[in-house]
Structure 1
């Protein structure tokens, strides 16, 4: 029980009112976009028209522009409900902290509040992701430049064109949506971790501090900070090693996320534009390529976001000298290892699929309707794409890709093995 409580090292809940105020501010900030989004879902006439004609959409467009009504509304209201429950629990926070209940139960109560905040963010993101699918089709048809012989599609295009002026209710692109979601999760997790930590500036593990001669040289004192003689110093190198391995995946994700980059453009045209033009081309390129847009583009952002959050928490723990037990340190060690491994696996899959899709385009195994290529709206929103031209490699490929993966895994194995052995020796000596 003490070990579990030590994970957060609560300072006996001394600043109860301050914790209450900060928590209420977090929920208030989360309520603003959530309520705004719910209002949009309620008053958007185009969204209602879309779901009234969902059978037409499913018959004539690809899966990347088909929204799920249940997912959109259920998760949106679920997000709101979690915020309400979290706020109600927060209002009783001082009563709980003043009670004679064990500190572990008080801590569990605060963690549960944080859980509701994070869960609300995730549920809202799932709903908003479904909304972006609707909006991609809505904005496309609203341009009124679709030459379709299908009456229902023409009717939808006319209706959306009328609504597009002052009732378009744009929310966010799918990529930006998940970056913002990860940012909100990082902020919430960091805030609760910092608020729950002991403010006292003792060393991370006071038992690990090696007694030093006060008269030793400054150079030696500086070098001792980076030796592997304490778990705090091991944490420092753990952060550095994990961050170095993460550099290449981070560059890859940024390259894939930025508007106008070759990779971002290719993925947009492969999955979204091809699904928009399915009624004209007769098939979706996404079906031909047999790949998942979410797994290639969105999943790398999500798994990397949690790794970034953990690296930041570990960095704050190192800088502020948070106290923790050996068990806590071991948990952090393995979580970082699992997260960086997961990131490398997801990035490897994403890069492989991106390379395969590039080859399909370059060998003319897939193509797209000429009307789409001449559509200035599509070129501006989804990137300037020129089918028929050779598409450059989206990322390092072939032997270069294999070499990069081997180097990353080798460095990761080396740094974690060394740090793991040192950590074990420190434990054995205690």
Structure 2
């Protein structure tokens, strides 16, 4: 086990490059199941979740190699159509193999997923979508077992615009007979990239980036290469790091158009921004203004930035209200921030944050990926020493975050620990 040790109080300055998007590459990787051959996925981040997905694919007989941020995948020898519990329990995105396996081979046995340790995140929308395409689905000893001789296009209306369900249904339907329409589809950039990748493989998908996606089934697909888009959540996290430390930083190799909701809120908080085509420069104000936030599906304020925003608001000059509308119970970081001296009150899906003059270092524990990020951010500004335990969560979605922060002037490092 490892922990982060942070000595707070350093203003961050300098530039940092943003890595490839975790949530994009985790969808691109299973899409390679859909056609036999060799693929290259460029700008792949070196993350724990990428390693887990690689293991899931290798369990099926797929050859996966990772070198210099290039993932090479050869799907010519797929021999097993199963994703086992031992791997799927580590990461919810493993369920992405369900759609392409059923779509191409007519069979899949995928464990019910695990991942971040907060709240129920049901996979009902995935299952119902695949079922509507004509698959017969049973739940057997914790596994989803799907069978179909041939999937058929249909109209599917999602009760909520789930990113995972939209992606899985898209991958299942590209080889189906006829046309599939997904209504109330997710609009996230990661879904747009997945659809564009599938189109480069020979799929016929239109409506990407809107709430109505249409997929005209084709007989076969072929391999293609792709470059992973920048990680908008990592970009947002580093911008908040600059703001919370009263710093001046530049994030490079990002896509500001994917960050609009976060950038607007940062400006509302008093930050001065200079936005280019692939960079954002941020200069923090002397005092952070309190800014209310309500999470929403893209292009709204992302739920994956909620914890980081609460950390920033904990040192704002006044009171802010953060409302979580995507995952109602996503506040496990709050008690840990309170240990650092934050004044936060949670009532159901609303957090009231009363800004304090300063946070003080303490020992805190990560509970999930984005909670880890919020604790690191708070530690950067807290007086004295902060220790963040269970940092394996952060390694799931941030590539060597401590090294990037060190280059910006932060005092943060890893240490071995016996504490869990």
Specify if TM > 0.5: no
Q: TM-score, normalised by structure 2?
A: 0.24
More helix by share: 1
Query: Which has the greater radius of gyration?
Result: 1
